[in-house]
Amino acid sequence: MKDLPIGVFDSGMGGLSVLREMKKLMPKENYIYYGDSKNIPYGKKTIEELRSICIKIVDYFMEKRVKAVVIACNTATSAAVSELRSRYSIPIIGIEPALKPAVEKYEGGKIAVLATEVTLRERKFNELMNKYKDRAEIIKIPAPKLVTIVENGIVSGQEAEEAVMELFEGISVDEISSIVLGCTHYVFLKDIIKKVLGENIELIDGGFGTATNVKNILFNMNALNDSDKEGNIEIINTSDDKSKIDLSYKLLNI
């Protein structure tokens, strides 16, 4: 079981930011990354549609005999993690906006949460927000355009800068203590966000925390790969645009 791969999936290429953290922490593991760019954006789909999509993806992973599945997508986690855990016997590890560490570090401050529409309106996130609403002022900012930009391989330049500027029109950035990147795609735009909003703004994402959680779960299962060789990464993308694979490897190595 130890040498079986870990399945990681996302609506497209955003989850590569999580896989990157997992690879750093667990370099001996083998990975299969499933980028579902054909069905992007997940944030525009119904909960029922998302659950159906996620079940098909995990069924694919089960055929590949993975030892765990990581939902490297906040939107898919919100919509489907409970359903997936009830259907499959292997660990299903989700991700959620890193609001807890942001509040703990900036208690009493103003925290902006960038995420997709589905993540921001789903019960899972709103329960999380209600838990911390008395400890910080939390601003929800839907940012679907940033997903599209990253999917097109745009992680620098004027178009990306303008998209970030649009999100913060009418918001006093000086009053914001931190920004939670509540979508894995946004991690690839960290440099642009800092360029537009200022180097002092702190950006918080859940990638490292998710990678740590995966490692702990596999350790407790005695399922960590103990090979003396570096593991393999296989990338699959559902888009008809074959350049998505090359772009995925490029983003993985940024």
Q: How far is CA 133 from the centre of its chain?
A: 23
210 is in an annotated binding site: no
82 is in an annotated binding site: no
φ and ψ of 8, to 5 deg: -130, 130
Residue 170 tokens, joined: 């009418």
10 is in an annotated binding site: yes
Helix axes 207-220, 16-25, angle to 10 degrees: 50
11 is in an annotated binding site: yes
Residue 110 tokens, joined: 């103003």
222 is in an annotated binding site: no
φ and ψ of 36, to 5 deg: -95, 55
From 53, 129, 183, 193, the catalytic residue: 183
Cα–Cα distance for residue pair 89/139, rounded to 1 Å: 37
Residue 132 tokens, joined: 């911390």
From 18, 26, 50, 73, the catalytic residue: 73
42 is in an annotated binding site: yes
3-state secondary structure of 79: helix
Residue 236 tokens, joined: 């699959």
Cα–Cα distance for residue pair 243/223, rounded to 1 Å: 34
β partners of residue 190:
none
**Known catalytic residue: 73?**
yes
132 is in an annotated binding site: no
12 is in an annotated binding site: no
Cα–Cα distance for residue pair 184/174, rounded to 1 Å: 25
Contacts of 64 by beta carbon, 8 Å cutoff, 6+ apart: 5, 7, 32
Q: Annotated binding residues, as ranges?
A: 10-11, 42-43, 74-75, 184-185
Q: Annotated binding residues for substrate, as ranges?
A: 10-11, 42-43, 74-75, 184-185
Residues forming the active site: 73, 183
